[in-house]
């Protein structure tokens, strides 16, 4: 009898579970007869790491590259450049793709599209373990056990098909399926976004419980800033394929350094009838990620625009007095922006 | 007191076909001039279906409607097709969640707005085009003149939504029905559209029914709120009353389960269970199976619609008790 064991901890607690370096994905578009060839810079030189047991959130608007980043991490599409290390091992190098897939699983936004409509819930959850060599009977037993863990009574749900259960229940099935291979890292790509609010809270509680029980690490992608603040330890704010701010979620929320992060936070509805939003924090739509603006990609919408912003792309730099970093000329010492700290000053 | 602009009485909508769905079960609501009413509820609560009934957009063959819908003194359910097409766009307009689906892909924005003006007001081509330009400027589309000749697919999501608002308001309707118009938009764009709608509503003095599942959005725009659950209105009141002192256990639970301001790691309060399937007309309180305060009488008969004050109603036995005490 083969049972799935979680991948062993290789590097110890100090080694990040996931280390992403200079991840880049460009999609060519156009280039047909007489059409100009263009490039969508969906993900451009993104680097970050996720510590063991941590929950890292990614926020950003549509087209910012957050879902492409998730798909690249899962190796669901080839990348143009960059390195992905899982617990210190290069995926495809010392760590085989087969092992890696066990170590990292993903839950998608559309709970219906991500399940095979011809498989019952039990079959869907048991499918992965069977592919990895678990006998049918054991795989089914495991599926039933996991259904219990995600709050679905196996005797009621095991033989149902995806279309026979509600959206919240289907998302629980997807979570159970992701856990069936005993992963160490789970990517949740807008996993609660399509759920009704009363169901969303249930699933968030479930994710918290499962994280504790299985010792999981999460990468939580969402456009909902309230949910990201609630669930994440650290957060990445993305804009047009780049990370513009990264750091501990409370620090970023309480003292956002990038004008885009500030605008994003200010755009949240106030939830207080006496303190309605009076002015939109920024105007216009996010620009098209096809051929994004040169220099800082946010400069076309930024209230603090100065010529330097259109010339050079600001690197992620530590924010004075804090543990987070922002990619804005206003925090880069000696960048040439009038609000930047002096070059000699220590951050 | 004037008669309300919109007066819906005991509206019941049932879809027939392969299976029967009791989508709306006895909804009554009224809307005065210049008011912004939020219709708050989760998917399947009947909020969009109620809006569609107001415009008679539901498929005739498969829909059984009873009750009465009166808008500006006209009986909407009795209208013939000619009256209906004069009514739509002129008295009541609607904007939708997906402007890409609501706009016609083969006509330019300018043509679509001009068509509506010509049809309803008999304006000349030139006057209609001038109005289209005026409308695009009103909704703050940059370089409006150039955008008149743009097709919907050439615009971004936020611009398309602005264009749809321009189209809906072109004939200065008395009532605007907004069905989740900001749900598909990014956060920074959503707030721009909400503020635009708020400003246009004030300038034009129109009445708005704003359908949303997002209480944060409702707070930004509504004066009054009606909360829907399983095809019924369970509570109505001013925005402040609903947000600060909800009486019905469902809105209470909805507000308590919000992630906003919750401490990380702390358990979120939840409403257990899922909304009921709507394959039978409700014979008892639809929320009772999920309600922490449910009593025997909740599962035996329909809860009373208790009037606490004018415009403040709660469909719950608990409210009945509190009224009886006072």
- Give chain A positions within 8 Å (CB) of B264: 229-233, 249
Tokens 């109505």 correspond to B236
Predicted confidence at residue A344, as pLDDT, reads: 58
Tokens 């507000």 correspond to B255
Give the closest-approach CA distance of A340 to chain B in angstroms: 26
φ/ψ of residue A12, rounded to 5:
80, 175
- Give chain A positions within 8 Å (CB) of B219: 269-273, 276
B59 contact partners, CB below 8 Å, separation of at least 6: none
Q: Across the interface, do A197 and B187 touch by the CB < 8 Å criterion?
A: no
Q: Sign of the CA dihedral A58, A59, A65, A70?
A: positive
Q: Across the interface, do B186 and A227 touch by the CB < 8 Å criterion?
A: no
φ/ψ of residue B118, rounded to 5:
-65, -45
Predicted confidence at residue A161, as pLDDT, reads: 96
A292 contact partners, CB below 8 Å, separation of at least 6: A41, A240, A241
A221 forms beta bridges with A58, A189
In this structure, which long-range contacts are made by residues A68-71, counting pairs with CB atoms below 8 Å and at least 24 apart in sequence? A68/A25, A68/A42, A68/A43, A68/A241, A69/A23, A69/A43, A69/A221, A69/A238, A70/A106, A70/A187, A70/A189, A70/A219, A70/A221
φ/ψ of residue A28, rounded to 5:
-75, 140
* Least CB–CB distance from B186: residue in A62, A169, A201: A62
State how far the Cα of A170 lies from the Cα of A120, in Å rounded to an integer.
11
Residue A113's CB is within 10 A of a number of other CB atoms, namely: 9
Q: How confident is the model at residue B273 (pLDDT cuts 50, 70, 90)?
A: confident
Give the closest-approach CA distance of B303 to chain A in angstroms: 22
Predicted confidence at residue B326, as pLDDT, reads: 60
Q: B194-243, pLDDT tens digit by residue? A: 999 999 999 999 999 999 999 999 999 999 999 999 999 999 999 999 99
Chain-centre distance of CA B37, in angstroms?
Answer: 8
- Give chain B positions within 8 Å (CB) of A166: 274
* Least CB–CB distance from A230: residue in B188, B195, B259: B259
Give the closest-approach CA distance of A204 to chain B in angstroms: 8
Q: How confident is the model at residue B323 (pLDDT cuts 50, 70, 90)?
A: confident
Please give the sequence-ordered ranges of beta strands (E in DSSP) within chain B, or none if there are none: 6-15, 21-31, 36-40, 63-71, 74-75, 92-95, 175-179, 207-212, 224-229, 232-238, 305-309, 312-315
Q: Is A54 exposed, middle or buried (0-12, 13-18, 19+ CB in 10 A)?
A: middle
Give the closest-approach CA distance of B228 to chain A in angstroms: 13
- Give chain B positions within 8 Å (CB) of A199: 274
Give the closest-approach CA distance of A232 to chain B in angstroms: 8
For residue A194, what is the nearest residue in chain B, using CA coordinates?
Answer: B43
Residue B107's CB is within 10 A of a number of other CB atoms, namely: 14
Walk along chain A (347 residues) and give the pLDDT tens digit of each residue. Answer: 456 788 888 888 889 999 999 999 999 887 677 777 888 899 999 999 999 999 999 999 888 999 999 999 999 999 999 999 999 999 888 899 988 999 999 999 899 999 999 999 999 999 999 999 999 999 999 999 999 999 999 999 999 999 999 888 999 999 999 999 999 999 999 999 888 888 899 999 999 999 999 999 999 999 899 999 999 999 999 999 999 999 999 999 999 999 999 999 999 887 888 989 988 898 888 888 888 889 999 999 999 999 999 999 999 999 988 899 999 999 999 889 999 988 755 44
Q: Across the interface, do A269 and B264 touch by the CB < 8 Å criterion?
A: no
- Give chain B positions within 8 Å (CB) of A273: 219, 239-240, 243-244
For residue B141, what is the nearest residue in chain A, using CA coordinates?
Answer: A284
State how far the Cα of A214 lies from the Cα of A201, in Å rounded to an integer.
20
Residue B290 has pLDDT above 90, yes or no: yes
Question: Among residues of chain B, what percentage have pLDDT more than 90?
Answer: 81
For residue B155, what is the nearest residue in chain A, using CA coordinates?
Answer: A285
* Stated pTM of the model: 0.89
- Give chain B positions within 8 Å (CB) of A269: 191, 194, 214, 216-217, 219-220
Predicted confidence at residue A13, as pLDDT, reads: 87
Predicted confidence at residue A49, as pLDDT, reads: 96
Task: From residue A189, give the alpha-carbon distance in Å to each of A58, A294, B248.
Answer: 9, 29, 34
Among candidates A132, A116, A94, which has minimal Cα distance to A174?
A116
**Mean per-residue pLDDT for B49-60?**
94
φ/ψ of residue A21, rounded to 5:
-125, 125
Q: Sign of the CA dihedral A280, A283, A285, A286?
A: negative
Q: Is A29 exposed, middle or buried (0-12, 13-18, 19+ CB in 10 A)?
A: middle
Under a CB-based contact definition with an 8 Å cutoff, are residues A236 and A49 in contact? no
Size of interface A-B (CB pairs under 8 A): 125
Q: Across the interface, do A199 and B274 touch by the CB < 8 Å criterion?
A: yes
Between B315 and B2, the more confident residue is B315
Could you give the ipTM of this predicted complex? 0.85
Give the closest-approach CA distance of A139 to chain B in angstroms: 28
In this structure, which long-range contacts are made by residues A222-225, counting pairs with CB atoms below 8 Å and at least 24 apart in sequence? A222/A57, A222/A58, A222/A59, A222/A188, A222/A190, A222/A192, A222/A193, A223/A59, A223/A60, A223/A61, A223/A62, A223/A190, A223/A193, A223/B186, A223/B187, A224/A192, A224/A193, A224/B259, A225/A59, A225/A264, A225/A265, A225/A268, A225/B187
Give the closest-approach CA distance of B69 to chain A in angstroms: 29
- Determine which of A61, A172, A226, A285 to mutate to test the interface with B (most B C-beta atoms within 10 Å): A285
Chain-centre distance of CA A327, in angstroms?
Answer: 19
User: Which chain B residues have any C-beta within 8 angstroms of a chain A C-beta?
Assistant: 42-43, 142, 156-159, 186-192, 194-195, 213-217, 219-220, 239-240, 243-244, 253-254, 257-262, 264-265, 267-272, 274-275
Predicted confidence at residue B322, as pLDDT, reads: 79
For residue A224, what is the nearest residue in chain B, using CA coordinates?
Answer: B187
For residue B199, what is the nearest residue in chain A, using CA coordinates?
Answer: A278
State how far the Cα of A67 lies from the Cα of B38, in Å rounded to an integer.
33
Predicted confidence at residue A74, as pLDDT, reads: 94
Query: 3-state class of A110 per DSSP?
Result: coil
State how far the Cα of A102 lies from the Cα of A46, in Å rounded to an integer.
24
For residue B214, what is the nearest residue in chain A, using CA coordinates?
Answer: A197
Q: What angle do CA A29, A296, A57 make, to 5 degrees?
A: 80
Predicted confidence at residue A347, as pLDDT, reads: 45
Residue B193 has pLDDT above 80, yes or no: yes
Q: In this structure, what DSSP letter does residue B310 have?
A: T
Residue B325 has pLDDT above 70, yes or no: no
Under a CB-based contact definition with an 8 Å cutoff, are residues A149 and A119 in contact? no
Tally the residues of chain A. Answer: 347
Helix axes A136-149, A167-179, angle to 10 degrees: 130
């Amino acid at each position: 009898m083969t049972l799935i064991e979680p991948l062993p901890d290789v590097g110890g607690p100090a080694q990040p579970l996931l280390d992403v370096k200079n991840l880049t994905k460009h999609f060519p578009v156009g280039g047909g007869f007489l059409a100009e060839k263009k490039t969508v810079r969906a993900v451009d030189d993104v680097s970050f790491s996720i510590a063991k047991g941590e929950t890292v959130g990614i926020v950003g608007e549509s087209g910012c590259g957050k879902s492409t980043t998730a798909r690249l991490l899962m190796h669901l599409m080839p990348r143009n450049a960059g390195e992905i290390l899982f617990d210190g091992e290069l995926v495809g190098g010392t760590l085989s793709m087969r092992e890696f897939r066990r170590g990292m699983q993903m839950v998608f936004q559309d709970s219906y599209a991500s399940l095979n409509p011809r498989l019952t819930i039990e079959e869907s959850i048991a499918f992965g373990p069977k592919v990895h060599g678990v006998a049918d009977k054991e795989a089914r037993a495991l599926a039933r056990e996991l259904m219990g863990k995600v709050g679905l009574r196996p005797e009621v749900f095991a033989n149902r098909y995806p279309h026979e259960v509600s959206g919240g229940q289907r998302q629980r099935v997807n979570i159970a399926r992701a856990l069936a291979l005993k992963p160490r890292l789970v990517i949740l790509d807008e996993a609660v976004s399509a759920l009704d609010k009363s169901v969303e809270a249930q699933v968030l509680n479930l994710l918290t419980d499962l994280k504790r029980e299985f010792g999981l690490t999460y990468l939580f992608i969402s456009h909902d800033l309230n949910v990201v603040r609630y669930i994440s330890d650290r957060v990445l704010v993305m804009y047009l394929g780049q990370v513009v701010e990264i750091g501990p979620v409370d620090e970023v929320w309480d003292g956002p350094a990038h004008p885009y992060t500030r605008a994003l936070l200010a755009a949240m509805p106030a939830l207080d009838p006496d303190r309605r939003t009076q002015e939109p924090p920024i105007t216009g739509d996010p620009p098209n990620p096809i051929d994004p603006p040169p220099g800082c990609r946010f400069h076309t919408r930024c209230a603090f625009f100065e010529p330097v912003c259109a010339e050079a792309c600001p690197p992620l730099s530590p924010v004075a007095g804090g543990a987070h970093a922002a990619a804005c000329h206003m925090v880069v010492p000696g960048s040439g922006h009038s609000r930047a700290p002096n070059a000699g000053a220590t951050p | 007191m004037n008669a309300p602009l919109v007066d819906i009485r005991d509206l019941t909508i049932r879809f027939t076909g392969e299976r029967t769905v009791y989508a709306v079960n006895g909804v009554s609501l009224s809307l005065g001039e210049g008011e912004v009413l939020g219709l708050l509820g989760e998917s399947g609560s009947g909020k969009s279906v109620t809006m569609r009934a107001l415009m008679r957009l539901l498929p005739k063959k498969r829909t059984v409607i009873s009750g009465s819908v009166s808008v500006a003194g006209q009986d909407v359910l009795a209208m013939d097709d000619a009256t209906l097409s004069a009514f739509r766009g002129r008295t009541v307009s609607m904007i939708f969640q997906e402007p890409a689906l609501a706009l016609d892909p083969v006509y330019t924005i300018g043509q679509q707005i001009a068509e509506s003006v010509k049809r309803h007001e008999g304006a000349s081509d030139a006057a209609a085009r001038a109005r289209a330009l005026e409308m695009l400027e009103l909704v703050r589309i940059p370089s409006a003149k150039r955008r008149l000749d743009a097709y919907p697919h050439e615009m971004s999501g936020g611009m398309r939504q602005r264009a749809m608002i321009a189209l809906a308001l072109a004939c200065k309707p008395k009532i605007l029905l907004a069905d989740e118009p900001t749900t598909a938009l990014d956060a920074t764009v959503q707030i721009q559209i909400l503020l635009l709608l708020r400003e246009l509503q004030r300038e034009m003095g129109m009445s708005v029914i704003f359908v949303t599942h997002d209480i944060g959005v409702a707070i930004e725009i509504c004066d009054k709120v009606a909360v829907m659950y399983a095809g019924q209105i369970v509570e109505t009141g001013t925005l402040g009353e609903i947000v600060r002192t909800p009486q019905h256990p469902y809105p209470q639970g909805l507000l308590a389960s919000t992630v906003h301001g919750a401490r990380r790691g702390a358990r979120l309060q939840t409403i257990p269970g899922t909304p009921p399937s709507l394959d039978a007309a409700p014979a008892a309180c639809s929320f009772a199976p999920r309600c922490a305060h449910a009593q025997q009488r909740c599962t035996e008969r329909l809860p009373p619609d208790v009037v606490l004050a004018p415009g403040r109603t709660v469909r719950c036995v608990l409210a009945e008790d509190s009224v009886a005490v006072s």
